[in-house]
Structure 1
Amino acid sequence: MKTVFVTVGTTSFDELIESITSSEGAQALKARGYERLVLQVGRGSLPAADSCPHIRMEAFQFKGSITEDIKQADLVISHAGAGSCLETLGAGKPLLVVINDKLMNNHQLELARQLHADSHVLYCTCSTLTATLMAMDLSVLQPFLPGQPKKFANFLDKALGVR
């Protein structure tokens, strides 16, 4: 069963949850072949059980880890929190980042733009989510290669004269 996992992290982003569970959002997912929607709503409100009639929906606020939800997903839709983005990219899952454009001094946009410029994610806002879902081409996304901390450690050792 093709699954979409939506996460807002530890924050509240009700606008994202409302957008993805709207009739238009659910229909866009269904048109792309997704049959199951799993929502992690953080401090936000749990949607009504019947709010998404076109697709099987499950929702929760928090759990110890969302690693399994990410692994089981065919697509992850996330707020632009660095932790959520890096965990998803590290799992090798396609990622659609939704910017909360209501935030002031929006660092989320900077992160999403950089990850998009490197072809690792697609991004949009809540107002463009449905159109993005309908038009997205996940085949353009490039794998996110893990960091190489050993190289940095070696550099520091050399710079500090330890080696």
Structure 2
Amino acid sequence: MTRSVRLFGAAGAMAALLLSGACSGDKPKATAAESGKVVTTQVVVLKTYDAASGALEYQGTKKVQEPDDAIEPTGPVQNATVAKNAAVLSAVNICSGEDATVDEKTGVGTKPCTLQQLEAAVKGGDQVDAYLTMKGRTVTKVAEVYHP
């Protein structure tokens, strides 16, 4: 009889634990990509972009203490899809030419560009640092970041 009481007690404790989690309203936390929430990334380096398919590869960055506070890639290369109607804002390298077109307070590009210009800038070998605004795994805005 002692054995059956222990088994019933253990089963009851497990059921109570499961019920308390279910009744508490606590839900597992979804990542931004899973939830479809709109987020803006930290500064990333754009690696490759194909305007025809919308495929974008990018990598996280770190600042290096040099005279110009250079930005270097770090971490794994990640993938996302760029929406066909995504906004692209240039600071210098995407489509601004020799004149910087930036918000003076933030250093973020302000000149609208096309997705084809973004593709050409990344293929051209220029380092394009940007903030990506994403909904889930889809990029809705690419905003180039200016740094000297």
Q: TM-score normalised to the size of structure 2? A: 0.21
Going by fraction, where is strand more abundant, 1 or 2?
2
Where relative contact order (Cα < 8 A, 6+ residues apart) is larger, the structure is: 2
Going by fraction, where is helix more abundant, 1 or 2?
1
Q: TM-score normalised to the size of structure 1? A: 0.20
Larger radius of gyration: 2
